[in-house]
Amino acid sequence: MIIIGEKLNGAIKAVAQAIKARDNNFIRDLATRQLESRADYIDICSGIPDQDTEVLEWMIDLIQTDHPDVRFSIDSPNPDTILACMDKCRNPGIINSVSLESGKTEKLFPAVAEKKGWNVIALLLDNTGMPTTVEKRMENFDGILAEAQKYGIAENRLFIDPLVFSVATTPEGFLNFIGASKLIRESHPDIHIISGLSNISFGLPYRKAINHAFLIGAMLNGMDSAIMDPLNRDMLGGVYATEALLNYDEYCIEYLSAYRDDLFGVQK
Ligand code: THG
């Protein structure tokens, strides 16, 4: 699994406060802990539209001073912010995100095509709003793929987010998510499939049970990347265990290594 650490998000109250106070140490610590939990990318999202570029550039500078090899997931609704952040990053990262909403791919795909090593998350969304069926997701997938081909972006640089809604309000949401995931996985083995783990449980109690079931169900149906909390040790255990069961981790080498380094928090 390719893990994107979600913790540096202004939607989380403590992070919003740290951003407001420009609390360097809070930000540095959350980045360090996520990297110690072997996050492949650190997602950064300000949640403040009028200071978006400034806040994200501040985080990038801070974190890459401590961790010269860090790769960022630039999480912003504003393509100009994403472009500015790409220039700041020492290492190639991942754009979060494009979609078929007007202007997004036109602005960001040329930068992906030009900048070596950068990857891109594409939401299966267009100007008509959230997709509610498998068919609409696949129509949007075809649209994204056509755009990527136009700019010569290889399929293994694309992370498709089929979008998932809460099971509390959208009873068939998970089935539609995996319906699209399966079709994409079967027809395009090199394309990555990604999701945020927590939308599925919105509005329900004991969210971690639902998030955990989602994680495993989605991994069995082609999801190979997640925006998640790598400090959540139960969830991290689920990731490593499922990878081993699916024979992506021969002889459980990664699982055992994570256990030895106590990433699951169960060592004495
Ligand atoms: N797809 C894409 N990008 C996304 C999302 C997506 N970016 C934002 C969001 N969804 C993913 N990020 C978060 C960040 C924080 C939380 C949820 C989603 C959150 N975290 C809790 C906290 O830190 O307090 C803890 C969660 C836990 O313990 O597991 O609520 O869907 N492309």
Q: What is the pLDDT of residues 7-29, one digit of tens each?
A: 999 999 999 999 999 999 999 99
List helix spans (H) across 3-51. 13-20, 24-36
**CA-proximal residue: ligand 1, atom 12 (nearest):** 6
Per-residue pLDDT reduced to its tens digit, 105-118: 999 999 999 999 99
- In terms of domains, do 148 and 109 share one? yes
Q: What's the confidence (pLDDT) of residue 25?
A: 98
- In terms of domains, do 209 and 149 share one? yes
Residues with CB under 6 A from ligand 1: 6-7, 9, 11-12, 45, 75, 96-97, 121, 161, 195-196, 198-199, 227, 229, 232, 235
Last residue of a domain, one of 62, 86, 110: 86
Residue whose CB lies within 8 A of the most ligand 1 atoms, among 9, 200, 232, for a mutation test: 9
Atom number, ligand 1, closest to the C-alpha of residue 164:
31
Q: Do 161 and 123 contact (CB within 8 A), yes or no?
A: yes
- In terms of domains, do 122 and 29 share one? no
pLDDT tens per residue across all 268 residues of the chain: 999 999 999 999 999 999 999 999 999 999 999 999 999 999 999 999 999 999 999 999 999 999 999 999 999 999 999 999 999 999 999 999 999 998 999 999 999 999 999 999 999 999 999 999 999 999 999 999 999 999 999 999 999 999 999 999 999 999 999 999 999 999 999 999 999 999 999 999 999 999 999 999 999 999 999 999 999 999 999 999 999 999 999 999 999 999 999 999 998 7
**CA-proximal residue: ligand 1, atom 31 (nearest):** 196
Last residue of a domain, one of 42, 60, 86: 86
Last residue of a domain, one of 57, 86, 115: 86
Q: Could you tell me the distance, in angstroms and rounded to a whole number, from the CA of residue 227 to the centre of ligand 1?
A: 7
Burial class (CB in 10 A: 0-12, 13-18, 19+), 220: middle
- In terms of domains, do 103 and 206 share one? yes
Angle 253-258-259 (CA atoms, 0-180°, nearest 5)? 100
User: Could you tell me the CA-to-CA distances from 50 to 64, 77, 78, 82, 162 in Å, in that order?
Assistant: 24, 12, 10, 14, 28
Q: Could you tell me the distance, in angstroms and rounded to a whole number, from the CA of residue 97 to the centre of ligand 1?
A: 14
**CA-proximal residue: ligand 1, atom 25 (nearest):** 229
Q: Could you tell me the distance, in angstroms and rounded to a whole number, from the CA of residue 152 to the centre of ligand 1?
A: 31
The CATH number of residue 113's host domain is 3.20.20.20
- In terms of domains, do 5 and 46 share one? yes
**CA-proximal residue: ligand 1, atom 11 (nearest):** 196
- In terms of domains, do 156 and 189 share one? yes
Atom number, ligand 1, closest to the C-alpha of residue 228:
29
Domain that holds residue 266: 232-268
What is the pTM for the complete model shown? 0.97
- In terms of domains, do 122 and 22 share one? no
Q: Residue 119: name the closest of 77, 158, 91 by CA.
A: 158
Residue whose CB lies within 8 A of the most ligand 1 atoms, among 225, 229, 232, 233, for a mutation test: 229
Beta-strand runs (E) in 107-157:
119-123
Q: Do 41 and 93 contact (CB within 8 A), yes or no?
A: yes
Per the structure, how many domains does the chain have? 3
- In terms of domains, do 222 and 108 share one? yes
Cα separation, 51 vs 48, whole angstroms:
6
Per-residue pLDDT reduced to its tens digit, 128-139: 999 999 999 999
Cα separation, 65 vs 60, whole angstroms:
8
